[in-house]
Amino acid sequence: MTNILASMKKLFGRTARTRFIAVSEKFAARGLDVEPINNQLTDLGDALKKSRTYVHSFSRNTFQQAAAPGEEAVKRADVLVNKAREEFKYRQIGLAVSIGLIGLLMLATYLKLRQMEK
């Protein structure tokens, strides 16, 4: 019984759910698409409710079958969070490169105008 409760807390505890919610809000504030992460959070909540009903069967196999979709939802949410982080880093690098190129073009235009004035 303690193993079932421990796995419930580990996989579906408030910490994982709270962490995904916080990350989702942070990514939304940065302008990233968080709908897939939110969908996984919904799946996680559904699996948590279902596994809570199956925990009363006191059968480890029955509980594991009910908890499996939740475990998969946690794994998929982790993958989506990592993808979102990579996308944000890619956007940051692209922004820095474009700002640098625009700066170089501005400098070249300024120097060309100074040359034409002389």
Structural domain spans, the chain: 2-117
The pLDDT value given to residue 94: 97
Residue 9: predicted pLDDT:
61
Give the whole-angstrom CA distance, residue 115 versus residue 118: 6
Q: How far is CA 18 from CA 41, 42, 44, 117, in A?
A: 10, 13, 12, 62
Q: CA 81, CA 27: separation in Å to the nearest integer?
A: 9
| pLDDT tens digit at each of 118 positions of the chain | 456 556 666 555 567 778 888 888 999 999 888 899 888 888 888 888 887 777 776 777 877 787 788 888 888 888 999 999 999 999 999 999 999 999 999 999 999 999 998 7
- pLDDT at residue 45, as a whole number: 82
What is the C-alpha separation between 111 and 105, in angstroms, rounded? 10
pLDDT for 5: 59
What is the reported pTM?
0.70
